Amino acid sequence: MLAIKLAFKNLMGAGLRTWLNVIVLSLAFVLIIFYNGLMDGWNRQARNDTQDWEIGNGQFWHPDYDKFDPYTIEESNEVISDEIQTLIEEDKVTPLLIRQITIYPQGRLMSARLKGVDPNQEIIKLPSADIRNSQNKYAAIIGEGMANATKLKVGDQVLMRWRDKNGTFDAHEIEIVSIFNCNVPQVENGTIYMDIEVVQEMANLHNQATMLVTSRDYENTKLEGWEFKDLNFLLAEFDKIIESKKGGGMVLQSILLLLALLAVFDTQVLSIFRRQKEIGTYMALGLTRTRIVGIFTVEGAAHSILAAIVGAIYGIPLFIYLSKVGIYYGNIAKASGLTIAETLYPYYSVGLIITSIIIVVVSATIVSYLPARKISKMSPTQALKGKIQ
Amino acid sequence: MKNILISLFTFLFLGSLSAQNANKIIEKVDANMSSKNRIVESSMIIHGKRNSRTITSLSYSVGDKKSFTEYLSPARERGTKMLKLEDKLWIYSPSTDRIIQISGHMLRQSLMGSDLSYEDMMDDRKLTEVYTAKVVGEENIDGRKCYILELKAKVVDVAYYSQKIWIDQEYFVPLKEDLFAKSGKLLKQTTFSNVKKVQGRWYPTKMVYKDMLKQGNGTEFIVNSMKFNQEIQEYIFTKAALKQ
């Protein structure tokens, strides 16, 4: 208690020097929380969006399907069994049939991926009902990214060429009936969505699908003839991106923290040098060396406590504001090709705040202790005289 | 009733006669165009939006199962080699010194930016194996009398469900070919000209391929020299020959 009282008294006595240290340390503090909160917010939003738009609670793939190998698409189809049909009717899974196609927007040849989707499904956020509401059998929906790449608008017709399961060419005009806005690039890039029954007829693959997307509340992971891919598998690439982004951010945060800690270290060295008589007096009064080291260490570490308080004064309103208003990334988000919303809302968890406090306090304590160790080697008489040791 | 039956039988009889004639015509076309083997030096002129470029190549082929092509010019393509064995295709690129197998959807990509896909080069089965034919008329093309044949696929694994071919009545050489999708949409058009006699066969030495769904002026394929039934070393049709 004495150590804490003395520490704060001395800190206040040091005036501007203390407050400069505290401000730099609080900046490091706020930045660490802000950056990690931003990453966590992005991670939460992106996972949520990917689940909403693409993967639900996981997907059942045809055993031969490999999303990284387009060669597998042609042969990766399985008949939708009665059991699966029941699940479809209960809105627990929705089938997708994937084919490779070629489109000719403005006479240019362009390879794309055609996904047959159930127009009545409500498991993924795709506006598949727009297909149902169209009178055109060859009604299609595309994302904004695809619309920009192909320069197609709602109501446009574009020629599509495809092959059926036997390899025979066929071609027909399709009509773009709606264009949706989505934060998940892989949902819209190079992809056209049409009624699954029409795609099955086009490919001569009646009642077949490439994959089944499960609803958010569907827990079963076994279906005869299909391989279940869980969220960890389907989001593995995204998790790696977040990890690498966090890693990159850590370097910057460490540099800022090191600078702040260097200031604390300097202050400690200076105060031990200048306050030798005080140290000698403590010794003469009978305080053990360990206790004196403790007083000086607490004094240094108290910088971090003050930094946490100062950081909270300007950080909390800032964090509350940002988590409500968000940070607008606009078109940069789409251009990046990553799953990222136009406006990111940082997410500050209790865990993140506590971890950040612990990191700053512990590191400040360590850098305060290192110069204070010198006290244990001081001779009391020399210290009282204030002679340099 | 009697008149109806007579008309029906006459129609069926003429129809079957037309089919027989058509089959004989495409058999003659196949006999004329197919050979044990051939060596062709050719130029492919690809007409782009802004400019045209010419690629020359030397091809060796045996029947319809094996072929080997080496690109001779321009400098950028020089040394690129292509080997087709049955339904497999490999490409060797000297800049990367790698052999790549082209399969799946890559076969549908354009061959060096032309109107031909790799797949178009792969599918060279005889017409009689794949289609049933019917003579639907006659027409003159560049002053040559032609039969117009309508071909419908008789096998399921065929790229173009139907074709319309104009066959020279004297030389049994196709002078024009329209390739259709299942829906009846015209996908590709080929015109053949400069028919010359080579070692007793009549052969078109200029072909213009046009992808009808794409903008552009098509791709010209000009045969500079052609030899049939030559001695071709067997090692040419191996992957090892690609890197030589």
- Examine the pLDDT at A215 and tell me if it is beyond 90: yes
Mean pLDDT, residues A79-92: 92
What pLDDT is attached to residue B105? 62
Q: Residue B22's domain spans which residues?
A: 1-244
What pLDDT is attached to residue A107? 81
In A278-358, the DSSP E strands lie at: 327-328, 343-344
Contacts of A270 (CB under 8 A, 6+ apart): none
What pLDDT is attached to residue B33? 79
- Examine the pLDDT at B13 and tell me if it is beyond 50: no
**Which of B104, B157, B181 is opposite residue A70, by nearest beta carbon?**
B104
Taking the alpha carbons at both ends of chain B, their separation in whole angstroms is 74
Enumerate the residues of chain A whose CB falls inside 8 A of the CB of residue B160: 168-169
- Examine the pLDDT at A275 and tell me if it is beyond 60: yes
Record: contact B181-A73, CB cut-off 8 A: no
For chain B, how many residues are written?
244
Mean pLDDT, residues A255-277: 82
Kindly report which listed range (A223-232, A273-282, B57-66) carries the lowest average pLDDT score.
A273-282
Angle at A328 between CA A323 and CA A329, to 5 degrees: 130
What pLDDT is attached to residue A17? 77
What pLDDT is attached to residue B10? 44
Radius of gyration of chain A (CA): 32
- Examine the pLDDT at B8 and tell me if it is beyond 60: no
What pLDDT is attached to residue B12? 43
Record: contact A167-B158, CB cut-off 8 A: yes
Nearest-Cα residue of chain A relative to residue B103: A71
pLDDT in tens, A369-381: 888 777 767 777 7
Interface test with A, best of B105, B114, B156, B211 (most A CBs within 10 A): B105
What pLDDT is attached to residue B17? 43
**Which of B105, B181, B214 is opposite residue A169, by nearest beta carbon?**
B181
Taking the C-alpha atoms of residue A127 and residue A178, their distance in angstroms, rounded to an integer, is 8
Enumerate the residues of chain B whose CB falls inside 8 A of the CB of residue A111: 105, 108-109
Higher confidence at residue A346 or residue B107? A346
The CATH number of residue B149's host domain is 2.50.20.10
Q: Chain A, 307-346: which have a CB under 8 Å from a chain B CB?
A: none
DSSP conformational letter for A55: I
User: What are the angstrom distances between the C-alpha of B187 and each of B96, B153, B212?
Assistant: 34, 15, 5
- Examine the pLDDT at B15 and tell me if it is beyond 70: no
- Examine the pLDDT at A345 and tell me if it is beyond 70: yes
DSSP conformational letter for B132: E
pLDDT in tens, B29-78: 888 877 788 899 999 998 877 788 899 999 998 877 788 999 998 988 89
Q: Which residue, among A99, A105, A193, A196, has the nearest Cα to A156 in the 3D structure? A: A105
Enumerate the residues of chain B whose CB falls inside 8 A of the CB of residue A172: 183, 185
pLDDT level of residue B11 (50, 70, 90 thresholds)? very low
What pLDDT is attached to residue A340? 77
- Examine the pLDDT at A29 and tell me if it is beyond 80: yes
How many domains in chain B? 1
pTM of the model: 0.77
pLDDT in tens, B133-166: 999 999 999 899 999 999 999 998 888 899 999 9
Higher confidence at residue B19 or residue A202? A202
Enumerate the residues of chain B whose CB falls inside 8 A of the CB of residue A170: 161, 181-183, 185
Q: Considering chain A, what is the average pLDDT of its residues?
A: 86
Higher confidence at residue A23 or residue B7? A23
Enumerate the residues of chain B whose CB falls inside 8 A of the CB of residue A107: 213-216
What pLDDT is attached to residue A198? 96
Record: contact B159-A167, CB cut-off 8 A: yes
In B52-161, the DSSP E strands lie at: 52-62, 66-73, 81-85, 88-93, 98-102, 131-141, 144-153
What pLDDT is attached to residue A242? 84
What pLDDT is attached to residue A370? 83
